[in-house]
Amino acid sequence: MTTFDKREQGFEAKFAHDEELMFKAAARSNKLLGLWAAGELGLSGDAAAAYATKLVTDGLANQTMDETINKVSSDLAEKGISREQIAQKMQECLHQALGQLEVASRQA
């Protein structure tokens, strides 16, 4: 195997790892956002978990971040929470999710 082949395999492995990490982070972020939004909607217990799970499954169905924000924004419109606030919360959730995944990878 040549140095070029080894380098190519390394890049492919890194790409696959990064894609998997972003997939996991997006799913975890949507769950955290869903739990936050459920709390804002006054949902708790199974209803809150179901709302969060729906955001995750919708996200897995190739829903974009904008579509997720639009969904939550629509749900929270009556609560006076702006789309910008939801986008900011989504960013916070994504950072939190990445941090959780980093900690989990260190423990593995």
Length of the chain as a residue count: 108
pLDDT at position 74, please? Answer: 95
pTM given for the model: 0.84
pLDDT of residue 7: 80
Task: Name residues of the chain where pLDDT drops below 50.
Answer: none
- How far is Cα 52 from Cα 49, in angstroms, rounded to an integer? 5
Tell me the two tokens of residue 46.
């199974």
Tokens of 64: 């974009």
CATH number for the domain whose boundaries are 23-107: 1.10.790.20
Residue 6: its pLDDT value, please? 80
